Amino acid sequence: SVKRKPEIQAARLKLPVCGEEQVIMEAIRNNTVVIICGETGSGKTTQVPQFLYEAGFSHPDSVNPGLIGVTQPRRVAAVSMASRVSHELNVTDEVSYQIRYDTTTSKNTRIKFMTDGVLLRELAADFLLTKYSVLIIDEAHERNLNTDILIGVISRVLKLRANLSKQDREKIKPLRVVIMSATLRVTDFTQNKSLFDNPPPVIKVDARQYPVSIHFNKRTPEVDYVDEAYKKIGKIHKRLPPGGILVFLTGQQEIVNLCKKLRQRFPTLPKRASKIDVAKEKASIEAESRIETVSARNEDVEAEEIELGDSADQIEDFELPDSDEEDDSDDELGFYGEDDVPNEEEDTDAPLHVLPLYSLLPTDAQMRVFEDPPEGTRLCIVATNVAETSVTIPGIRYVVDAGKVKERQYNLGTGIQSFDVDWTSKASADQRAGRAGRTGPGHCYRLYSSAVFDNYFPQFSVPEINRMPIEGVILSMKSMYIDNVVNFPFPTPPPKPNLIKAEKILTHLGAIDRDQKRITDLGRSMATFPIIPKFAKMLIIGQQHGCLPFVIAIVSALSVGDPVLRDSDLNDLADEESDSDDENGTTDVKKMELHNIRNESVAEKERRKLTRSKYYQTQMKHAGLDPTSDIIKLLNIVGAYEYAGATQSFCEANFVRPKAMEEIRKLRRQLTNLVVANCDGVDVSIDPKMQPPSTLQLKVLRQILTAGFIDSIAVRKDYIESGGSEGSKFKSTRGVPYRVMWSDEDVFIHPSSVLYHQPAPLFVAYNEQFKSSKVWLKGVTKVEPKWL
Ligand code: ADP
Ligand code: MG
């Protein structure tokens, strides 16, 4: 019944997956879950849905009338694969896609491509997924949070559907699932008893892959791999035979910058191009920068969608090299076989058809990478890891790999989530190289040395779920309507006590309700921010009395981590518990004395004391007139830093780390943009010269902090033991034991706190606890009992 065009039919038959059609279909008939592993480009995504289609799945009159669903971690893959399969099947409206903001589904749809986020949301409405007869979970090797969670949920749906269909086969049909992976690393799915009772069969498809020569750089560029990529692309383009170039960088900003440079250097259009062509080219380039109304929600989030950088941090325009530029980098481009003798004549005006590819790019601009490049031009695609396994771009012969990836990271100690650029894994570097060998033998230029590859690249990437703070993960799941997280079959499960604690924290924050443990409206808003839930909560409740700009600054500083040097960084004299007696402005006297001291070691000791005294004076200055909170002190530092013009000398004079201050600044900008995008009717902008908060605002800020740190409240031990009588007054908090919610150990306010020399409050909220000689509370704020 399928009427494919002859050329399509011929091309399909060459795909390795098509050689296994019988094996695959038999396995799917005999098992509810089947795993298919095969190299990128072997035909998994385009062909397996067609096998199912031809076998009658999704046909209204068949025994399996439900849809064929295919999930993808990325929007670009969902859209482009739907179009490709529709083209191959030679049908008009039977193959559709659905992504967050757009769908082509209709009553005629039989194969539906969608992002895994879309399917997770459908689960909320119909947990049995009754409209599907078979689901293909693609790109499982990526171990994205959404894909992992989806596989966990679907293992449950399978069992339910199987049981229900035994009772009434007419009403409920069993569901079949195919998990597809570009690598053989699937034991987390096959050997996980809580996921599937019987290990599902694994079908391995041997891919036909042309050889790819790998060329390592002799040296690894210190920072500017974008510049290095630019040079390498120029050389390939000028010297090597025809064939597309695929470049791997880490994020939007880098890609946009490199595309701009390349387009200036090697325009796509010949010098005498028609006005129409020039206008067309201009329009399509402009379409790239059109902003799609995509906000960084948990669904569909790819790391690159949330960028910490902004336009002010763009990579400096680098100089255009002269055409006869001194070639100081490795010249492996010279070492070609006889067939590959470079053009003697370096035609620097040869057009290069440069296209960006990253997931925030508008969909139609993304789709241009699949079109044939204009006659006489060479295709050059500058991509994030979207192009690693999700999409196959035809005609790529050269890969330029910076070896970097931007990934979500989580610091257990500080609770900071960040998007860091770091070396990718060996497995993913090999996937990237493989992109050059699909149409013929190819070359991969790695912009790093083999020593760096051997010694610094991890074998595999860590699953995303293990790079996320657990409260954040649980909140994400709840926002996808997955309520019972403790018994949830994660492919790589986090420890159970962590899950339980995470739910308690979320309950205290009001992100989930107490009884049902379901997400609240507040929780749903919190889930939109790339920071831990307690900080997100502060942002959301911070919209009162004009406090939001302060809250954004505070949350940014807390997320980055304390920028203040620790007094132990100053010198070794500082014993954490020793009281310093020179904090009261005797500095000038000391200074004079210093001149009179001959003995070097005594002078040294005095100098240290002086520094230390200056350090404490600075801390007290920032603490303000009513020092009740280390966090407010932090806010004052951020404000003072901006007021002073964000200079290095400010950092030195005020004992703060310049890099941390820079990061706080970037995060403030990003969070401000997200608040504007996600919170209706909120208009907040960054005012670098933020005025200090008023007395009322200070009080409100402390209440907001209390609400955010509601699971991190410490109570004076004597108050608990006396059954709530205020008892004796302590002149300072030094040596006064407190108790916190999650343990039975005495804890103490750290000497670096502004509260250390204040009368000991009954209640304090703290940002973190850490253990050295004792358990110390840091980032402390005095809490009024009536707020609790
Ligand atoms: P896999 O999912 O195993 O990585 P695909 O099914 O995506 O493989 O691709 C199989 C082959 O189909 C590719 O090698 C390519 O030749 C061809 N192909 C896929 N998409 C397109 C497209 N949009 N245009 C032309 N050819 C395509
Ligand atoms: Mg695929």
Give the span between the Cα atoms of 49 and 38, in whole angstroms: 15
* Neighbour count for residue 610 (Cβ, 10 Å): 17
Nearest CA to ligand 1 atom 10: 43
Given a contact cutoff of 8 angstroms between Cβ atoms, the answer to whether 425 and 432 are in contact is: no
DSSP per position, 84-95? HHHHHHT-SSSE
178 vs 201: CA distance, rounded Å: 10
User: 379 pLDDT band (50/70/90 cuts)?
Assistant: very high
DSSP secondary structure of 61-76:
TSS--SEEEEEESSHH
Report which listed range, 124-128, 236-240, 366-370, 568-572, is most confident.
Answer: 236-240
Hey, is 775 helix, strand or coil?
strand
Check if 370 has its Cβ closer than 6 Å to any atom of ligand 1.
Answer: yes
Distance CA 712, CA 567 (A): 24
Q: Which two tokens stand for residue 175?
A: 């569901």
Ligand at shortest distance from the CA of 369: 1
Q: How far apart are CA 653 and CA 649, in angstroms?
A: 6
Q: Which of 392, 396, 432, 438 to mutate to test the pocket of ligand 1 (most atoms within 8 A of CB)?
A: 392
- DSSP code of residue 456: H
What SS3 state is found at 745? Answer: coil
**How far away, in angstroms, is 363 Cα from ligand 2 center?**
18
The pLDDT confidence band at residue 349, using thresholds 50, 70 and 90, is: low
Atom of ligand 1 nearest to the CA of 39: 3
Strand partners, 176: 134
Q: Over the Cα atoms of the chain, what is R_g?
A: 30
In this prediction, residue 603 carries a pLDDT of 75
Ligand 2 centre distance from Cα of residue 43 (Å)? 7
Residue 131 structure tokens:
């409209």
Provide the phi-psi class of 110: left if phi over 0, else alpha when psi is between -120 and 50, else beta: alpha
Residue carrying structure tokens 């049995």: 128
Give the residue-averaged pLDDT of 337-360.
Answer: 65
Per-range mean pLDDT, top range of 583-592, 599-608, 709-718, 740-749: 709-718
Report the C-alpha gap between 361 and 51 in whole angstroms. Answer: 32
> How far is residue 716's CA from residue 720's CA, in Å, rounded to a whole number?
7
394 lines ligand 1 (CB under 6 A): yes
- Confirm or reject: Cβ of 542 under 6 Å from ligand 1: no
Which residue's alpha carbon is nearest to atom 12 within ligand 1?
43
> What pLDDT score was predicted for residue 411?
57
List, for residues 646-694, the tens digit of each pLDDT value: 898 999 899 998 878 988 888 888 888 888 877 777 777 776 678 889 9
Q: What is the pLDDT of residue 497?
A: 76
pLDDT given at position 305: 36
Pocket lining: 767 vs ligand 1, CB cutoff 6 Å: no
pLDDT in tens, 79-110: 999 999 999 999 999 999 998 768 899 999 99
Distance 386 CA to ligand 1 centre (A): 14
Nearest ligand, measured from the Cα of 44? 1
**377 alpha carbon to ligand 2 midpoint, in Å?**
27
The structure tokens listed for 150 are: 């989806």
The DSSP 8-state label assigned to residue 734 in this structure reads T
Residue 375's H or E segment, with its range, is none
Please work out whether the CB of residue 481 comes within 6 Å of at least one atom of ligand 1: no
Span from the CA of 712 to the centroid of ligand 2 (angstroms): 46
Ligand closest to CA 36: 1
Which one has a higher pLDDT value, 458 or 301? 458
Strand order in the sheet with 33-38: 102-103, 95-99, 111-115, 67-72, 132-137, 176-181, 33-38, 202-205
Helices 75-89, 6-13: axis angle to 10 degrees equals 120
Cβ contacts of 263 within 8 Å, gap of 6 or more: 285, 352, 354
| Whether the CB of 84 sits within 6 Å of ligand 1 | yes
User: Residue 670: CB within 6 Å of ligand 1?
Assistant: no
Q: Which of 265-269, 567-571, 764-768 holds the top average pLDDT? A: 764-768
Question: Which residue's CA lies nearest to atom 21 of ligand 1?
Answer: 84
Averaged pLDDT, 400-415: 75
How high is the pLDDT of residue 308? 29
Cα 83 to ligand 2 centroid, rounded to whole Å: 14
Please give the DSSP secondary-structure letter assigned to residue 313: G
Question: Distance between CA 601 and CA 192 in Å, rounded?
Answer: 64
> Would the pLDDT of 43 be above 70?
yes
How far away, in angstroms, is 60 Cα from ligand 2 center?
Answer: 27
Between CA 65 and CA 500 the distance in angstroms is: 41
Report the distance separating Cα 6 and Cα 750, nearest Å.
76
The protein residue whose alpha carbon is closest to atom 13 in ligand 1 is 41
- Burial bucket for residue 683 (CB in 10 Å: 0-12, 13-18, 19+): exposed
Rounded to the nearest angstrom, the distance between the alpha carbon of 72 and the centre of ligand 1 is 14
Q: Report CA-CA distances (Å) from 201 to 47, 152, 178.
A: 19, 17, 10
Cα distance between residue 765 and residue 695, in whole Å: 20
- In the predicted structure, residue 330 carries a pLDDT above the cut 70: no
Q: How far is the CA of 208 from the centre of ligand 1 (A)?
A: 13
Q: Residue 638 phi/psi, 5° resolution?
A: -60, -45
Instruction: Ligand 1, residue 11: give the atom nearest the CA.
Output: 16
> Measured between alpha carbons, how far apart are the two ends of the chain, in Å?
70
Residue 669 identity: R
Q: Cα separation of 217 and 220, whole Å?
A: 6
Minimum CA distance residue for ligand 1 atom 6? 43
38 touches ligand 1 (CB under 6 Å) = yes
Residue 321 in this model has a pLDDT that exceeds 50: no
Tell me if 40 CB under 6 Å of ligand 1.
Answer: yes
The finding on whether 44 has its CB within 6 A of some atom of ligand 1 is: yes
Q: Which residue has the higher pLDDT, 570 or 467?
A: 467
Ligand in nearest proximity to the CA of 207: 1
- Say yes or no to pLDDT of 329 above 50: no
Question: Model pTM greater than 0.80?
Answer: no
Question: How far, in Å, is the centroid of ligand 1 from the Cα of 393?
Answer: 8
Share of residues in the chain with pLDDT > 90 (%)? 47
Q: Which residues surround ligand 2, an ion (CB under 5 A)?
A: 44-45
Identify the residue with better confidence: 769 or 328.
769
Predicted ipTM of the assembly = 0.98
723-747 per-position pLDDT tens digit: 888 777 888 899 999 998 767 889 9
pLDDT at residue 595 tops 80: no
Query: In angstroms, what is the span from residue 441 Cα to ligand 1's centroid?
Result: 17
| Helices and strands per DSSP (H, E), number in the chain | 28, 23
Q: Please, what is the average pLDDT of the chain?
A: 83
Across the range 743-756, mean pLDDT stands at: 88
The residue with tokens 């942002």 is 539
CA dihedral 742, 747, 751, 756 (to 10 degrees): 90
Could you tell me if the CB of 141 is within 6 A of ligand 1? no
What is the per-residue DSSP string for 319-355? PPPPTT----S--GGG---GGGPPPSS--TT--EEEE
pLDDT of residue 752: 85
- For residue 699, how many other CB atoms are within 10 A of its CB? 16
Nearest CA to ligand 1 atom 22: 84
Compute the distance from residue 209 Cα to the ligand 2 centre, in Å. Answer: 15
Region label for 42, one of left (φ > 0), alpha (ψ between -120 and 50) or beta (otherwise): alpha
Ligand 1 atom nearest the C-alpha of 370 is 23
Which residues, including other chains, have CB under 8 Å from residue 437's CB and lie 6 or more apart? 209, 210, 211, 212
Other beta carbons within 10 Å of 466: 15
Count of CA atoms in the C-beta half-sphere (13 A) of 367: 12
Q: Which residues have C-beta within 8 Å of that of residue 114, sequence separation ≥ 6?
A: 69, 70, 71, 72, 78, 97, 98, 99
Nearest to 548 by CA among 737, 418, 676, 359: 676
- Average pLDDT value for residue range 435-439: 87
Residue 270, SS3 per DSSP: coil
Closest atom, ligand 1, to C-alpha of 38: 3
Q: Can you state the percent helix, strand and coil of the chain, rounding each to 5?
A: 40, 15, 45
- Here the tokens at position 50 are 């067609």
Q: Are 756 and 736 in contact (CB under 8 A)?
A: no
> Per the structure block, which two tokens stand in for 445?
């230029």
Q: Is there an atom of ligand 1 within 6 Å of 378 CB?
A: no
Q: Is the CB of 42 under 6 A from ligand 1?
A: yes
Give the mutation target among 46, 47, 183, 431 for probing the ligand 1 site: most ligand atoms within 8 A of CB.
Answer: 46
* pLDDT exceeds 50 at position 527: yes
The kind and range of the H/E element at 382 are strand 378-383
d(CA 398, CA 342): 14
Model confidence band, residue 290 (pLDDT cutoffs 50, 70, 90): low
Strand, helix or coil for residue 379: strand
Residue type, 118: V
pLDDT greater at residue 293 or residue 785: 785
Residue with tokens 């269909």: 165
Whether 354 and 382 have beta carbons less than 8 Å apart is answered as yes
> Would you state the pLDDT for residue 348?
57
User: Would you state the structure tokens that stand for residue 727, as one six-digit string?
Assistant: 């008892």
DSSP class per residue in 588-636: HHHHHHHHH---HHHHHHHHHHHHHHHHHHHHHHHH-SS--BHHHHHHH
Residues in the chain: 788
Distance (angstroms) between ligand 1 centre and the Cα of 276 equals: 32
